[in-house]
Chains A and B, each alone.
Chain A
């Protein structure tokens, strides 16, 4: 134990955080950063809601409004939900759930965080300069090309998205390797927690969805700055190419956003119903399938572009198939509620709310299988209602639930239950007031992305209700975070396992030690913390020094499918290289923005030199 402390100790102070490779610290860095960005995205949303509270309002100018909705979309998707679920929850929890001491590539993990941070600063610099992207988060050409958007706004968009996707790709790649290789011996694929299945699905999704997005943005950047004609029909390009490439990324993206939330839900449900999840294998397959099928449905975002009916019908068919894995999961969750012994504490309340919101948003989603109906309501507030039920209801509710659920693990403190439940009901009421009337106002003809609207079309009342709902949601979120902060200082200690949770993170202390587990745990089911004999075995192993690995900075590697011990790997220590490389890469992007392409090339060479330095000292085998 003492030797483990020494081997895994981090450097104190700021330098320790800058150089850290500890997945928990990186998870916390992601958490705090994405929380700030969530605040920014939320302020943008509330400004828009305030502008729309009455017709012909002029709180913000049309220019500002366009920047607000573009930044709101970009921020919530690329800079809040993905980094919050993968970066914060995934980083902190996956090694703890699979019985590992760190991610498979700890320095790459650190690199992904620093690149993410740099890309966020890069994007928000545009706002400070008054040139935030303003062509919507899906940024259709020709509106986004140089003719119609001559400023730097769209260059910021293209570069920030490419920059950010580097971070997401690194995260995704290393989640896949970590989940395949770093599980505790005995955790074969079928004994892996559903949380890990979900993150595996999301990571594969990211890995395959991001390249088309990056290609799209590279084309856009070249069209704008070098004079190529990828999207220009008058020179043999195609404006629709942007949309195809964008949505080949964009629809899998939706599942990448919510599948980790499914993972959080399937962690909380067994813990608070004290029952193993109903139909576990079906749910695991469904989590993977939903992302896989999600790659075949992209053109349902383009039903009104005048593509041939045959093509539309194909994509509508794929869209209807994606319903099945979703309904499987919904009924599996609900039956677990019914068959278990549900304790409706705050985390489970958020999951119940999540199921309600996901089913509501899912049911309006099924309506888009009907092509003519989709063509009627697409680009109206009906769509806004639909995807906010999915993205806020189905992705963010579990994030909130997960914050409460793992709060004791991360801080070592319990949280206060009553304000927790109050925060749930405020957020639940607020979001429904905010988003439900959008269905109606969309059917009444209100298009999306209008900075104002006339008074005589019957839209005003609904917009007032929505704005009230928006502020109520804000109050709920403030209560939530107020409660967590207050609990951190005042609540009683939680102990290692306050919920009798099913997975491995509840077997170690709260907060977990830097080496996560004193001994690599034994696993013989998907609910290892509910196997008391195995935990006894761990104590015997620890006493006997079996798989304690205290002779170095080491962790085990297993065979990918069966989870047999294959070898013990030496893990890298703290390193200054990731943060330096991220810094050099930022310079590349700044120079590209300023169109100093030669200097950008020099900076790229600097990046390569940094990488050489990085690999100068590898951990010994």
Chain B
């Protein structure tokens, strides 16, 4: 009776947990999988959690049983002579502490580490149509498409339902690339290339983050993965592969001149111009992106303007200095130019 009630309570406790975890939609939710890998991992989690709650229930039931027996008479009589119930105790210890765990963990081990793990691993380089290279920087992501000249930052576009081989590297410290709705994470290590599969079941946008502490602005190192229909993706890639368009209008032209002759070109590349530094993000098609500074702020003209003037306010310690000393006219001109880089 008592233990039945207990089981009921445990089962009830799982319900709100499931609701909380499942109902969150397009966030960064490991339990809202959008790929077969992520969904296998989520299923593993739910099975393990179910069994874990049962295990916890057994232990709590034993403690509650002891609690109920606490008022028993004759306290103190057990310290001498034979230990009452020792044989039962051994049975429970061996069964619950050795036999059952070995069976359960063996099953988990085989399912997780011989089967599920395979699906998360990167496809061989010659077996996929596309390899994408992601390079971690303090504190943003560089994204390259080998075989094309496309370079972007903090956004990965992939064709939907196509296995992608994703190679990750770092230009400085260890980062960890993690888009939980698509796959488990993979660290970027100095001097090494790691790889993983990226795959999305459905068209959509999936959020990712740097998961390994990488310094001051580790908190602001997000990335979007856009899974597009193959045709849309092909158009996007072709556009990204082109050099930057020439500015139209005198303000933007002044902005281009200011960019190329000023400090901007010391760190940023705009393909098709003389700016070719690889320190900061490639800005050839910066106006095409949805956010600035690795998902820190939206990419709108006013945010872009404020970012140039005072980037340290939005992301203190980031590698781009605030350019408050530039005249307002110049900042406006540079903003106008960058806004045209679709």
Q: CA A371 – CA B41 in complex, angstroms? A: 10
Give the complex CA separation of A492 and B314 in angstroms. Answer: 60
* B52 sits at the interface (CB 8 A): yes
B 207-223 to A, binary, CB cutoff 8 A, 1 in contact else 0:
10111111111110000
What CA separation (Å) do A42 and B69 show in the bound complex?
37
> Within the assembled complex, what's the spacing in Å between the Cα atoms of A458 and B29?
10
Contact of B62 among A312, A338, A453, A530 (CB under 8 A): A338
With a CB–CB cut-off of 8 A, which chain B residues contact A453? Answer: 219
Question: Are A372 and B78 also in contact (CB < 8 A) when A341-B72, A443-B31 are?
Answer: no
Does A568 touch B at the CB level, under 8 Å?
Answer: no
Count A-side interface residues using an 8 Å CB cutoff. Answer: 91
A238–B174 alpha-carbon span in the complex (Å): 12
Taking the complex as formed, is B246 at the interface, i.e. its CB lies under 8 A from any CB of chain A?
Answer: no
Q: Is A378 an interface residue (CB 8 A)?
A: yes
- Residues in A whose Cβ lies below 8 Å from that of B176: 304, 379
Q: What is the size, in residues, of chain B's interface with A at 8 Å between Cβ atoms?
A: 95
B337 interface residue (CB < 8 Å to A): no
Interface string of A390-423 (1 = CB under 8 A from B): 0000000000000000000000000000000000
Main secondary structure of the interface of A (DSSP, over half): helix
List of A residues within 8 angstroms of B52 by Cβ: 363-364, 366-367
A331 touches B109 (CB 8 A): no
CB pair B178 A502 closer than 8 Å: no
Known contacts: A340-B78, A355-B59. The answer to whether A324 contacts B88 by CB under 8 A is no
Q: Are A440 and B17 in contact (CB under 8 A)?
A: yes
A444-472 vs B, Cβ < 8 Å mask (1 yes, 0 no): 11111111111011100000000000000
Q: State whether A366 touches B173 (Cβ < 8 A).
A: no
Within 8 A of A (CB), among B137-185: 138, 172-174, 176, 178, 180, 184-185
How many Cβ-Cβ contacts under 8 Å join chain A to chain B? 293
Q: Among B72, B79, B102, B114, which residue has its beta carbon within 8 angstroms of that of A527?
A: B79
Is there contact, CB below 8 Å, between A320 and B121?
no
Do A276 and B97 have beta carbons less than 8 Å apart?
no
Q: B91 CB to closest chain A CB, in angstroms?
A: 9
B65 interface contact, C-beta 8 A: yes
Interface residue A15 (Cβ < 8 Å from any Cβ of B): no
| A359→B96 CA distance, assembly (Å) | 13
Kindly state the separation between the CA atoms of A367 and B89 in the bound complex, as whole angstroms.
27
A376 touches B213 (CB 8 A): no
A-side contacts of B174, CB under 8 Å? 140, 142-143, 239
Q: How far is the CA of A338 from the CA of B74 in the complex (A)?
A: 15
Sampled A-B contacts (7; CB under 8 Å): A274-B76, A274-B78, A282-B97, A327-B96, A342-B67, A369-B112, A440-B21
- Nearest 5 pairs between A and B by C-beta? A233-B191, A445-B28, A370-B112, A278-B89, A306-B194
Beyond known contacts A148-B138, A343-B75: 7 more, CB 8 A cutoff: A312-B117, A324-B101, A334-B63, A335-B88, A370-B111, A443-B29, A457-B28
> Which residues of B approach A to under 8 Å, CB–CB?
17, 20-21, 24, 27-31, 37-38, 40-41, 44-45, 48, 52, 55-56, 59-60, 62-63, 65-67, 69-70, 72, 74-80, 83-86, 88-90, 92-94, 96-98, 101-102, 105-106, 108-109, 111-114, 116-117, 120-121, 138, 172-174, 176, 178, 180, 184-187, 189-192, 194-195, 207, 209-219, 295, 316-317
